[in-house]
Amino acid sequence: MGKAIKLGVVGAGSAVFSLGLVRDLCLAESLAGSTVTFMDIDAERLAMIHRLAQRYVAELGVDLRFEATTEREPALREADFVINTALVGGHGWEETWRRESGELGYYRGLRVQTYLHQFDLMLSLARDMERLCPNAWLIQSSNPVFEGCTLMTRETGVKVVGLCHGFYGYRQLCEAIGVPADEVQWEAVGVNHWIYLTQFRHQGQDLYPRLDAWIENESAEYWRTFRGAFGDTQLSRAAIDHYRRVGLMPIGDASRTFSEWYYHTDLETKRRWYGHLGGFDSEIGWARYLEGLNRRIAEIRQVASDASARVTEAFPPKPTGELQIPVMDAITNDKPTILQVNVPNHGAIEGIAADVVVEGKGLVDGAGIRLLGVGRLPDKLMHMVLLPRIAKAEKDLLAYKTEDRDLLVSCILDDHHTRSLEQAEAVVDRLFSYPWNRELAARFCGRKRSALAPYALTD
């Protein structure tokens, strides 16, 4: 027998995510009797999810209770766990900014707007948890997991774990080389979205040589015939090229738009590295992703509006593979489980500060979460990928924390799309011109570096 929990879900209007969570929770018998409080600022979506969840458990006869609230406090009060899946401003703000920063020379946009809003939300959520449920775990499920979890664990005393399903990319490698993924011993470590395959074995045999053989003998045919819906990622030319340059295979999102700038300068380049659609993050791939997402939301709405439909038929109770429920189950019921997590490094990876949140396998049980020791990673991986990536995050976080416009501009100047100081200043001006960024703009521009008038650049 297990133990019931109180779970708050912030941003529960993310219909696909929340429905998946309900499915996983229904399958976790040891969490029977639990209460889930869905919270979202979108009351209509919230109500839809709430009703669907109630119908789902009713159909299955499972003992779970659901509440819904547009306020944060009821979702946090007495919570054992809080899942944060919110994206401030949703895809609307993101797409406007992507388009307009694109016009200013940033192909496919800059991440800065999302980051600043997400940092605000995460920090205020963690601070509310310190007050309302100081012993609860925060399961951070929306991006940016790496920077956000680092920020929250540094600035608050809340227990935070970041989860991301990108690590499943290793299964595509297994499939390509014809090895059953479930029989494979693997480990992928780094920081979220930049993880690298450090262990890859089948029955004690290193699988890297088989991967190399696939690249040599089969990749050309794979790339010639690949027609995946969102464009390729894990087995893309970009991923393989990057592997060969770094020496370890990038896993999952590590091959996406987050990777080296030179795979992403324009659509033509993306198509050369990611196949005909230019990969998941090109205008084509991303549009298909959004279409697919909207289609799934429409399906959910359809079922929601049809009281006679069986929700469990439309969305059968099969595990999603997401780790939120396994993490909560392992902690709540003290079941030692090894899971892919994002938590502060505390010495797991040599040469990375203790308070930087890293990704790797952790032992999750009643005592909490501790990373398996990784030790020293290859110098090349550290200096080519991880240390620069962490340095960038530190600079972003410092800009956020000090609300320093010059530092924000400096972060943008580091972007390889930036061609001039004027361009970087212009894109920050644009960012701060949106009505929804007015408060951010005031914070950053209220602390200008000095009272001096700008001097003329030209004689």
* Residue positions annotated with a catalytic role: 165, 253
445 binds a second copy (CB under 8 A): no
**Who contacts 82 (Cβ-Cβ below 8 Å, separation ≥6)?**
7, 8, 9, 10, 75, 76, 125, 129, 133, 136, 137, 138, 139
Nearer to a second copy (CB atom), residue 235 or residue 327: 235
* CB atoms near residue 267 (< 10 Å): 16
Give me the least distance between CB of 437 and a second copy, in Å please: 22
| CB 300 to a second copy: min, Å | 37
* Residue 216 interacts with a second copy (CB under 8 A): yes or no: yes
Euclidean distance between CA atoms 264 and 397, whole angstroms: 24
Q: Footprint of a second copy on residues 315-354 (CB under 8 A)?
A: none
Angle, to 10 degrees, between the axis of helix 405-413 and the axis of helix 421-433? 120
Nearest approach, Cβ of 395 to a second copy (angstroms)?
5
Stretch that binds a second copy, among 28-36, 75-83, 354-362, 387-395 (CB under 8 A): 387-395
Cβ contact 225:272 at 8 Å? no
CB count, 10 Å around CB of 227?
A: 9
The only residue of 99, 131, 272, 447 in contact with a second copy, by rule CB under 8 A: 272
Sole residue written with tokens 């401003």: 89
Nearer to a second copy, 310 or 416 (CB): 416
Among 90, 134, 180, 247, binds a second copy (CB under 8 A): 247
Rounded to a whole number of angstroms, the minimum distance from the CB of residue 232 to a second copy is: 12
Q: Using the rule CB under 8 A, is 262 a contact of a second copy?
A: yes
Q: SS in 3 state form for 208-257? A: HHHHHHHHHHCHHHHHHHCCCCCCCCCCCHHHHHHHHHHCCCEEHHHHCC
Question: Judged by CB under 8 A, does residue 457 bind a second copy?
Answer: yes
Min dist CB 172 to a second copy, Å, is 18
- Pick from 90, 143, 149: which is nearest to 123 by CA? 149
Report the residue from 54, 172, 269, 312 that binds a second copy according to the rule CB under 8 A.
269
- Considering Cα of 389, then 390, then 396, then 400, what sign does the dihedral take? positive
Dihedral sign, Cα of residue 209, residue 211, residue 212, residue 214: positive
Between the alpha carbon of residue 394 and those of residues 212, 249, 389, 434, 436, the distances in Å are 35, 25, 9, 26, 25
240 makes contact with a second copy (CB under 8 A): yes
Q: Which of residues 33-92 bind a second copy (CB under 8 A)?
A: none
Question: How would you class 70 by CB atoms within 10 Å of its CB: exposed for 0-12, middle for 13-18, buried for 19 or more?
Answer: middle
Using CB under 8 A as the binding rule, whether residue 447 contacts a second copy is answered as: no
Tokens 């994002």 — which residue? 342
User: For residues 159 and 210, which CB has a smaller minimum distance to a second copy in the complex?
Assistant: 210
Q: Nearest approach, Cβ of 459 to a second copy (angstroms)? A: 7
CB of 38 to a second copy, least distance (A): 39
The smaller minimum CB distance to a second copy, of residues 90 and 247, is found at: 247
| 398-437: contacts with a second copy (CB under 8 A) | 398, 402, 404, 406-407, 409-410, 413-414, 416, 418-421, 424
Question: What residues make contact with a second copy under the rule CB under 8 A?
Answer: 212, 215-216, 219-220, 223-224, 237, 240, 244-247, 260-263, 265, 269, 272-273, 276, 379-380, 383-384, 387-388, 391, 394-395, 398, 402, 404, 406-407, 409-410, 413-414, 416, 418-421, 424, 449-450, 452-453, 455-459
